Amino acid sequence: MIILQYLGGFLGAALTSYSVTSGYRLANRISMVERSSCNSCRTALPWPSLIPVVGYALCRGRCTVCKDFVPVRYPLLEISSGLFVLLIVTRFGISIQSFKLVWISMVLIACCESDLLSRRIPNVILIVSIGVILLVDALALLTGVIDGLSYQWGAIALFAGVCMRCTGTLLFKRPGLGIGDIKLFTILGLYAGSLFAVTLLAAITFASLVGLVGIVSGRLRRNAQIPFAPFLTLGFVVSYFVPEPMVL
């Protein structure tokens, strides 16, 4: 079991690397089938550089050709996500439940990267997610091994997203939430069920704190737009650690 846990952690880091790359390419409209390359000079990366975390250490955080820095968030994401997947495997073993959690985690990471870079969440990520959602629900109905999707909470999440968007328009003359965020809300509601409430509360708290600190320090304008997908991801991780049993 210990071997499976550590394999799960490494797999989580590898999937995170792919998810981040997918988010970057979708944000910059780069082909998904091209070989991985430096974001600055576009030089193809040698295979050792593609190993999660290890690749970053081998190149010392720089491109081996142009010497430009590689964002430190990449290895940090790989490490943290690898640990999260390790915890998932420890708790649920190799199961459909684990697959659900790992899948939605990777979707959130891809959305984070795209939202940070382009302030948008590509529809292709959400469409693929919906396809997997339907597959998971079919498995739940056929096998009875896992609970089905929470369509009630999916509707609640959609309503919450629309309300936040309209509230921003009324109070600040600009939408409080993007359309992509509302779609992501709905997907999270379907997957997480009642834990979506914890996810949303934690996300709003984190976003408010970051916004407040940014405004006080002068790094953010009062009307600055803040990508919300990263805070939803943090909120989802927090919801995993609530004391009550996870209901998905």
The pLDDT tens digits for 74-133 are: 888 888 888 888 888 888 777 777 888 888 888 999 999 899 888 888 888 888 888 887
Rounded to whole angstroms, how far apart are CA atoms 158 and 74? 31
Q: Write down the pLDDT at residue 1.
A: 63
Strand partners, 44: 37
Q: What is the H or E stretch that residue 52 is in?
A: none
CB 239 within 8 A of CB 191: no
Please state which of the ranges 35-44, 122-131, 203-212 shows the lowest mean pLDDT: 35-44
| Cα-Cα end-to-end distance for the chain | 24
pLDDT number for residue 200: 92
Cα distances from 103 to residues 33, 80, 133, 173, 176, in angstroms, run 21, 15, 10, 36, 27
For the record, the structure tokens of 208 come out as 């408010």
Q: What is the pTM of this model?
A: 0.84
- Facing residues of 37 across strands? 44
- Least confident range from 23-32, 113-122, 145-154, 164-173: namely 145-154
**Centroid of chain to Cα 18:** 12
In this prediction, residues 134-154 reach a mean pLDDT of 72
